[in-house]
Each structure stands twice: as C-alpha cells, then as structure tokens.
C-alpha cells in the first residue's frame, strides 16, 4: 500500500440524496457537489485520493446517521443496510478501502436503555 491513510472518510447511502443535500446546505459547501461526492464510493473518491496521495481510506457513515433514530428496530435495520451496502461497495477495491461497521448488539442495547430512562 502506498500513500497516506485517511480515517473516517464520510459516505452516505444514495437513497438519502435529499437529506444529504439538505444537510450540506447548512454548511458552506455546494450541496450538489457534496451529494455527488459523498455517495460515490469508487470513481470520484479514488480520483481525489490519487490526486492527494491517499492510498487507503477507512470509510464511515455520515451524520445524521443511525444514532439519530430512536426506534431500535428501525435503527438496527438502517445499520444492517449501511453495513451491507458498504461491504458490497468496497469488495472491488479491498486494497483501497476499509470501513467502520455499525455494532448491532450495542446499538440495540443502547436504544433499549434510552427507552427505560
């Protein structure tokens, strides 16, 4: 592996394009460019990495994410969707990408504790 390692590089699910666009509009960035770049896992991301000397990226789901969902079953379903999605996307380039997964057991316990308090 050559180059820098980039940690916690954000990605988003394409199905949340509108939410991602809204989120980006809160900051000083072009929402359209942001949506295009944050939902792309391979093409644009690898081009940027090569341009800036990044050899490997650890991807992490962007905010607001699973932690924003109070219903435990809904949160777990989204966590599974995110984990499955990113696992499939990085298969083609395991020498370029890794990812943080959502810990399902901890997520469910955390959500049920919140309901009890």
Q: Tell me the pLDDT tens digit for each residue of 101-114.
A: 887 765 555 555 55
Number of structural domains (the chain) is 1
Q: Quick one: pLDDT at residue 108?
A: 56
Write out the residue range of the structural domain in which residue 83 sits. Answer: 4-116
Q: Quick one: pLDDT at residue 17?
A: 87
- Rounded average pLDDT over 54-78: 88
Query: Model confidence at 37, in pLDDT bands (50, 70, 90)?
Result: very high
d(CA 89, CA 117): 38
Can you give the CATH number for the domain in which 79 is found?
3.20.20.140
Q: Quick one: pLDDT at residue 105?
A: 62
Q: Tell me the pLDDT tens digit for each residue of 10-31.
A: 999 999 988 888 888 888 678 8
Q: Tell me the pLDDT tens digit for each residue of 83-107.
A: 999 999 999 999 999 999 887 765 5
Residue partners of 97: CB distance under 8 A and separation at least 6: 41, 56, 57, 58, 59, 89, 90
d(CA 92, CA 38): 18
């Amino acid at each position: 592996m050559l180059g820098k390692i980039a940690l916690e590089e954000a990605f988003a699910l394409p199905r949340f394009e509108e939410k991602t666009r809204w989120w980006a509009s809160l900051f000083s960035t072009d929402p359209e460019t942001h949506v295009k770049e944050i939902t792309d896992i391979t093409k644009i991301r690898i081009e940027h990495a090569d341009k800036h000397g990044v050899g490997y990226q650890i991807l992490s789901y962007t905010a607001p994410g699973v932690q924003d969902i109070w219903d435990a079953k809904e949160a777990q379903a989204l966590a599974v969707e995110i984990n499955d999605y990113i696992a499939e996307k990085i298969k083609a380039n395991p020498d370029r990408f890794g990812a943080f997964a959502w810990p399902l057991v901890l997520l469910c316990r955390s959500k049920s504790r919140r309901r009890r308090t």
